[in-house]
Amino acid sequence: MKKSIRLRACALTPALSLAVAASVQAQPMEINPVVVSATRLAQPLSQVLSSASVITRQEIEKSQATSLADLIQREVGVEFGRNGGPGSVTSFFLRGQDSKNLVMLIDGVRAQTDGIGSLTLTDFPLAQIERIEILRGNVAALYGESAVGGVIQVITRQGKGQPSAYGAVTAGSRGTQGVSAGYGGAAGDYSYDLNFSKSVSGGFSSMNPNQSARVNPDRDAYVVESVAGKLEKKVSADLSIGLRFSSIQAESNYDDKS
């Protein structure tokens, strides 16, 4: 039996992928980035007392990771579990705590949880990410009881500098292909960014047909498309107003166990 589900998620592609990134303008590297997750106030990372780390856009591109889970698993104190290939359930664990003892923020907005408290959005298209802030340890006083293990904050791309285009193409095993493109920058008091990405994986059969005659031997494919945009106007040194949107749509196929 073959089923199809629709969900708001992002693609997971096999680790054996080759990423070719194209950037029209090189971005300067941040030596001492500013973080907001540790105290909810902007401050240099070198002055943060809590155990925190930042993954910049430059590091994301150099890593050639194909998913958020594959990217942050390299950080200290971070583990994840995945129950299959692309489109399968993924859970994050900080400092040995349960997956429900973790808060994930997207541009400061808390990600949804399911009925047992686990995150429903634990993957995010890397093409949309500007940087990731990982805060380890109990910060429940700031973020609520779910933040016993820590906080992962994903900050989407922000237009800055001379307007320029960017993009990437990926290819790998099992029919894995991906493409992303975007354009962003700043002009006066306005900043903007618009990006699109699509990933496809031919997948593999989740059940072995040699073990059961009733097994469907087809490949369980996965496809995801995402589009995001952001427009902001700087009113003062401490205030900005703007509009942003993000849409992620994925289709995952799997076999019934019956």
Backbone phi, psi, residue 243, to 5°: -135, 140
**What is d(CA 258, CA 256) in angstroms, rounded to the nearest whole number?**
6
For the residues 163-181, what does the mean pLDDT come to? 89
Residue 104: closest CA among 74, 133, 67, 141: 133
239-255, strands of its sheet edge to edge: 2-7, 239-255, 222-236, 190-201, 176-187, 164-172, 17-23
For the residues 176-200, what does the mean pLDDT come to? 92
For a pLDDT cut of 70, what percent of the chain falls above it?
79
pLDDT tens digits, 65-89: 888 888 888 888 888 887 766 667 7
Total-model pTM: 0.74
pLDDT score at 21: 40
pLDDT at 200 over 70: yes
Exposed/middle/buried for 1, CB within 10 Å: 0-12, 13-18, 19+? exposed
- Give the C-alpha distances (Å, rounded to integers) separating 98 from 79, 82, 118, 152, 254: 10, 14, 9, 14, 26
pLDDT score at 226: 92
Residues 6+ apart with CB under 8 A from 142: 39, 40
pLDDT score at 118: 60
pLDDT at 17 over 90: no
Q: State the chain's mean pLDDT as an integer.
A: 78
